[in-house]
Amino acid sequence: IVMIKNKVVILTGGSGLIGQALCKSIAKNNGYVIVADIIENNEFKKDIKNDSNMEYYYLNVSSQDSINNIIKYCDKKFGKIDVWINNAYLKTTKNSKNKREYSDDFFNLSYENFCESVQLNQGSIFLCSKFISKYFLKQGYGHIINVSSIYGLIAPRFEIYENTGMTMPLDYAMNKSAIIH
């Protein structure tokens, strides 16, 4: 993080819990961070507006046009992009309000939702990395950082969630493992 001073960083999933912490740390260390997310977190929005080193930008990581638009925006505004952080995790199962939520446990996870999760999460990292890599090649430098999870390294420990009502979604562990590999 010390080497982030005066760097332009695009952080996908910037409104989430991990994303917020990363954004705040980058801004605190004098990097300029684009909080790139499909969700505008109203509480975090205040922090963004009060920090001259952060700004929110709507980004749909599963849309080629959206990815290209943020790259064009940053290139025009800053003349460079130094770092792209793939941190977004797309939720798949739709509830009765048609809102995306985390996937279900192994026995309740449908094949369709599993496939959607793989397509959305691994596909979005593929798309983001592909288009920012083209930009970085033209620019002559740049860094991509992929955020994963401990569950990308070890098998889920379902006993952790016993009697909590929570679960460790299988597709989450598989997607995070794919990021590492």
* pLDDT of the residue at 125: 96
Catalytic annotation, pick one of 32, 56, 151, 172: 172
Q: Annotated catalytic, 172?
A: yes
Nearest alpha-carbon partner for 18 in 81, 86, 105: 86
3-class secondary-structure state, position 151: helix
* pLDDT of the residue at 84: 98
The pair of structure tokens assigned to 62 is 């599963």
* Alpha-carbon 54 to chain mean position: 16
* pLDDT of the residue at 93: 56
Which ranges of 4-163 would DSSP assign to H, the alpha helix?
17-28, 42-49, 64-78, 111-139
* pLDDT of the residue at 164: 78
| CA–CA distance, 147 with 140 (Å, rounded to integer) | 23
Letter for the amino acid at 79?
G
pLDDT-flagged residues of the chain (< 70): 1-2, 92-105, 156, 166-167
* pLDDT of the residue at 96: 47
Return the DSSP state at 98.
S
* pLDDT of the residue at 169: 76
* pLDDT of the residue at 94: 58
Question: Residue 5's CB: how many other CB atoms inside 10 A?
Answer: 11
Question: Residue 37's CB: how many other CB atoms inside 10 A?
Answer: 25
CB 123 within 8 A of CB 62: yes
pTM here is 0.87
What is the tens place of the pLDDT at every residue in 80-121? 999 999 999 887 655 545 555 556 667 777 888 888 888 999
3-class secondary-structure state, position 179: helix
* pLDDT of the residue at 104: 64
